[in-house]
Amino acid sequence: MQIQSNNAANFQAKTLSARPGASAEQPASDSVQLGSFSDANAPQKQNSINKFLVMGGVAAAATVAAVALPSMAHAADGAAATAVASTGAATASSIIGTLVPLAGLGLMGFMAYRMIKQGGGGGIGGGDSDKGAGKVVKSDKTFADVAGIPEAKEELQFTVDFMKNPGKYAKLGAKVPRGVLLSGPPGCGKTLLAKATAGEAGVNFIQATGSDFVEKYVGVGAKRVRDLFDEAKKNMPCIIFIDEIDAVGAQRTGGGEGGNRETEQTLNALLTQMDGFNSADGIIVMAATNRPEMLDSALVRSGRFDSKVTVNPPNREGRRAILDVHGKNKPIDDVKSLDLVADRTTGMVGADLENIMNKAATQAAREGADKITLKHLSEAIDTVAMGPQAKSRKLDEFEKKVTGYHEAGHAIISKALPSNGTLMKVSILPRGQAAGVCWTNPVDNKSMYSRQELEDHICMLLGGAAAEELKIGKNFTGPSNDIERATQSAMGMVMEYGMTPGYAGNNNGIADLGKVKYVDVRSRGKGLAPSAETQREIDKAVKGIIDQQWARAKTLLQKNDAQFTNLAETLIKKEEIDRPELEQILTNIVDK
């Protein structure tokens, strides 16, 4: 398996990111969960509902009795004219016929009462309409706790200054944005930024999430939105922060029943509330999302979310600054170790880096060490990226041989084709689902890739399978993920980036499909859905690219056979080789 940091994720068809692991929003000690507003009328509301149910039950019973009693009286009159035995049977039959409907009606009323009670007593429609109001707190975070995203901090500094000195801007007629939308990948620190903005400005902070306003019953979410803004008006100046706003602010589709109608009413209530106050009142709405393209245009227009701040993953300097923040109060053996951590974590976000520092400290504590060493940090990086080492999963000698040559094949081609990034480590210690790993770091902050660079990447991905075929003489299931990613990259070249014209005329069977973006007919992407004939040409082009790079990978391994064999045998013996030793082994590599 070949692992590459996330920086390379943008240049293929949404698939070149190879770094496993999940990112979470920056955790904070003062995380606020939603509670409920104190509602002085809540007991009266519940009593009213209970009285309504009791009165309804009594009225229903009276109605049934009014219908049933004449029948019972008639049965009694008829009984007087018949024999005693017949009278008893008729009366019993009449009473049973009357009680069965009454019992059914009573059961239905009881079930309705239970449903409303479980819904929270928020009204006849069900659902707890008072749920979802955030607690008002004072944030203890400031911009000193935020690192690695200087552009976002600079943009929010204006918001802080306005809330501290509103008169300064009012004299010139300037207006602060009513809303600030934070967007970016998970774990980049959007929630932390919102808390730091409130803490820096010294104003109240109310946190909610988009899912808190989503309910089954129509009108419940809208009421929660109104309650949230009412509470904010009581605690001005303040910042309202709505995390994952796409849960309630997604684009409206028009029409729909049930849940769709409720979501649209909730969104309408949010739009109305954002229009119902002035920024001069001291209320600013901040929101965060990972998917800004999904938000309704009416929500993100100027006048509501005027300011849009993109929070990107940090660069090398930003990662180093984040490590300093999370390294406070941690005894690190050599501070220069953090420089190496910053080098190895290209594409990682603040939450990942915090996790690395915490796992390194935990590992050091388990071993009884007094300080955190580079060994602890390196192990923590591997654990966060790929999972803990599977010590119970032992490879037999043949599996070690196959895996050793596989990873050595990746390493040789990575070294021969530098556009794949810096080779950092090769290992055959199982982690997660992978039996081994070849770790490369791409060029930091690189966002554009040429056709040649994409071809180099595909060649490197196929290097493991090519090594198995050359040295073992067979193919195994291990390269399945590599082959999948190589195929997706080739599909991106053909279908998204219009990179087929350069292949035409080379007698390789690849047609010139032009500068056209093709999309799968089942997807919702924007582009041209290919005809059956064009799809056949697309399939041929993708296979042609893969075939070319497969042959190229085998050629590179054959031309560097001495270094290839030496690396594989050393890896099988040591199981893990770091960058300094790799540099000694991989010298004089032929790149063509």
Q: What are phi and psi of 49, to 5 degrees?
A: -65, -45
Q: What is the pLDDT of residue 167?
A: 82
Tokens of 272: 């109305």
Question: Which position among 231, 407, 453, 455 bears the catalytic label?
Answer: 407
CA distance 251 to 271: 13
Q: What is the pLDDT of residue 273?
A: 87
- DSSP E strands, 330-399: none
Angle at 496 between CA 244 and CA 17, to 5 degrees: 55
Q: What are phi and psi of 461, to 5 degrees?
A: -60, -35
HEC per residue, 61-124: HHHHHHHHHHHHHHHHHHHHCCCHHHHHHHHHHHHHHHHHHHHHHHHHHHHHHHHHHHHCCCCC
CA distance 194 to 238: 12
Share of the chain above pLDDT 70, in %: 72
In the DSSP assignment, the letter for residue 287 is: E
Where is 437: in which H helix or E strand? strand 437-441
CA distance 289 to 286: 11
Instruction: Tell whether the torsion through CA atoms of 252, 258, 263 and 268 is positive or negative.
Output: positive
Region at 202 (left for phi over 0; alpha for psi -120 to 50; beta for the rest):
left
Residue 172's pLDDT band (cuts 50, 70, 90): confident
Residue 395's pLDDT band (cuts 50, 70, 90): confident
Lowest mean pLDDT among 51-60, 219-228, 494-503: 51-60
CA distance 48 to 59: 16
pLDDT above 50 for 119:
no
pLDDT digits (tens, 9 = 90+) for 460-485: 999 999 999 999 998 899 899 999 99
CA distance 531 to 548: 26
Q: Find where tokens 């796409």 sit.
A: 246
pLDDT above 60 for 56:
no
- DSSP E strands, 223-335: 238-243, 283-289, 307-310
pLDDT digits (tens, 9 = 90+) for 324-333: 999 988 999 9
Residue 110's pLDDT band (cuts 50, 70, 90): low
Where is 441: in which H helix or E strand? strand 437-441
Q: What is the pLDDT of residue 465?
A: 96
Kindly state the average pLDDT of the residues 53-66: 50
User: Which stretches within 492-586 are classed as H helix?
Assistant: 532-559, 561-574, 579-585
Q: What is the pLDDT of residue 266?
A: 85
Q: What is the pLDDT of residue 94?
A: 63
CA distance 46 to 392: 58
pLDDT above 70 for 88:
no
Kindly state the average pLDDT of the residues 175-202: 91
Kindly state the average pLDDT of the residues 427-444: 87
Residue type, 490: A
- DSSP E strands, 144-213: 179-183, 204-209
- DSSP E strands, 88-215: 131-133, 136-138, 179-183, 204-209
Q: What is the pLDDT of residue 123?
A: 37
CA distances from 288 to 305, 450, 584 (A): 11, 33, 47
The yes-or-no answer on residue 25 being catalytic is: no
CA distance 352 to 186: 10
Contact in structure between 402 and 477 (CB atoms under 8 Å): no
CA distance 45 to 119: 14
pLDDT above 90 for 511:
no
Q: What are phi and psi of 578, to 5 degrees?
A: -95, 175
Q: What is the pLDDT of residue 520?
A: 77
Mean pLDDT comparison of 48-62, 203-217, 268-282, highest-scoring range: 203-217
Q: What is the pLDDT of residue 450?
A: 92
In the DSSP assignment, the letter for residue 430 is: -
Overall pTM surpassing 0.85 (yes/no)? no
Kindly state the average pLDDT of the residues 84-107: 60
Q: Find where tokens 């060029």 sit.
A: 443
Contact in structure between 377 and 326 (CB atoms under 8 Å): no
Q: What is the pLDDT of residue 170?
A: 80
Report the chain's mean pLDDT, rounded to a whole number.
79
Q: What is the pLDDT of residue 471?
A: 95
pLDDT above 70 for 254:
no
Q: What is the pLDDT of residue 79?
A: 43
CA distance 279 to 240: 12
Task: For residue 443, give the 3-state DSSP assignment.
Answer: coil
CA distances from 82 to 73, 98, 124, 413 (A): 15, 22, 51, 106
pLDDT above 60 for 255:
no
